[in-house]
Amino acid sequence: MKNDFRKIQITALFSLALFSSIVCSTYWTAPIASAQNTPIKFIPPPPPPDRGAAGTRGGSASRGCSGDQPLMALVPVYEGTTTQASPITQVWGLTTAELPTFWFFVPYQKASIKTMEFVLKDETTKPSKTIYRSFVTPPQAPGIINIKLPSNVSALQVGKSYNWFLKLKVDCNLQLPAQLEYVEGWVQRVNPNSKLASSLAGASPQQKVVLYAENSIWHDALTTLAELRLSKPKDTALIADWNGLLKSVGLENLANQPLVK
């Protein structure tokens, strides 16, 4: 009888130990899983100074064209006021790249686009200086395109803001004259601080997206993530990161638009 009782005690103690092990394991691993599922969020830098950084992130959908979404630049916007207390929308983003890549949603079929031109200007000189101007081949169908500054363009200078434009002439209704659609904004190159540079050196591409976003460097975060998505279009983790990054700057309505190589 005593032996039977001892066996019951040992069995009970073993079961309790196993249960405690499971509970503790769940408790300590839950925060890790939760952290991995935290959506990427862009942390905006201090608003740009009032130096003419006004812009237009989105155009207006052309009359007669299919769809109702306008031409859109994938960049943050900042609502503020000028020194005269007038409202102003500033379209502005940071990059560490000497020759950054710009991303745009083009809502039109190729046949409807007569011309598409990208321009980058240095407005600090008098008169202003055009750094780069190029006619762009329109995509076959609506989607998100990228425009990368080529290697023969002079590297952007650190601390200087540059003005960019994307202009489309759209003709999708023979009864109406062709319309000009455009978006405009500013880009500024910065050097990463020593802590960020050290973190980036040992980071994977997906980790770099988070680091850039947390440190307010929009163009690098977007380009790194977009290139990852182009290489792995069905990766669910990358899709979730893409949705989170665009949502953090109010562009969640573009999250399902195709990326065009």
Structure confidence at residue 240 (pLDDT): 96
- Is 169 among the domain residues? yes
Report phi then psi at 63, rounded to 5.
-65, 135
- CA 92, 257, 183, 216: dihedral to nearest 10 degrees? 0
Give the structural domain span for 132.
72-254
Structure confidence at residue 148 (pLDDT): 97
Closest CA to 39 of 228, 238, 212: 238
Distances (CA, A) of 192 to 80, 95, 96, 217, 220: 26, 9, 7, 9, 11
Structure confidence at residue 84 (pLDDT): 66
**93's tokens:** 């983003």
Distances (CA, A) of 202 to 32, 84, 178: 20, 46, 50
Query: Are 164 and 189 spatial neighbours (Cβ–Cβ below 8 Å)?
Result: no
Angle, in degrees to the nearest 10, between helices 205-214 and 194-201: 160
Rounded to an integer, what distance in angstroms lies between the CA atom of residue 131 and that of residue 260?
A: 25
Rounded to an integer, what distance in angstroms lies between the CA atom of residue 95 and that of residue 189?
A: 5
Rounded to an integer, what distance in angstroms lies between the CA atom of residue 257 and that of residue 85?
A: 37
- Is 139 among the domain residues? yes
Structure confidence at residue 85 (pLDDT): 61
- Is 55 among the domain residues? no
> What is the number of other CB atoms lying within 10 angstroms of the CB of residue 147?
18
- Is 156 among the domain residues? yes
- What is the pTM (predicted TM-score) of this model? 0.82
Structure confidence at residue 167 (pLDDT): 96
The number of distinct structural domains making up the chain is 1
Distances (CA, A) of 240 to 41, 73, 104, 229, 247: 11, 21, 20, 11, 10
Rounded to an integer, what distance in angstroms lies between the CA atom of residue 147 and that of residue 228?
A: 16
Query: Are 51 and 92 spatial neighbours (Cβ–Cβ below 8 Å)?
Result: no
Rounded to an integer, what distance in angstroms lies between the CA atom of residue 112 and that of residue 126?
A: 37
Rounded to an integer, what distance in angstroms lies between the CA atom of residue 137 and that of residue 98?
A: 24
- Is 8 among the domain residues? no
- Is 218 among the domain residues? yes
Residue 251's Cβ-side half-sphere holds a number of Cα atoms within 13 Å equal to: 26
- Is 62 among the domain residues? no
- Is 22 among the domain residues? no
Q: What is the pLDDT along the chain (261 residues), one digit of tens a residue?
A: 434 434 434 343 333 333 333 333 322 222 322 334 678 999 999 877 655 567 889 876 555 565 678 999 999 998 776 666 677 788 999 999 999 999 999 999 999 999 999 999 998 888 889 999 999 999 999 999 999 999 999 999 999 999 999 999 998 777 777 889 999 999 999 999 999 999 999 999 999 999 999 999 999 999 999 999 999 999 999 999 999 999 999 999 999 999 997
Question: Is the alpha carbon torsion for 230, 232, 235, 237 positive or negative?
Answer: negative
Structure confidence at residue 63 (pLDDT): 56
Query: Are 71 and 192 spatial neighbours (Cβ–Cβ below 8 Å)?
Result: no
Rounded to an integer, what distance in angstroms lies between the CA atom of residue 50 and that of residue 40?
A: 29
Structure confidence at residue 1 (pLDDT): 43
3-state secondary structure at position 152: coil
Residue in the structure block whose two tokens are 């201090």? 46
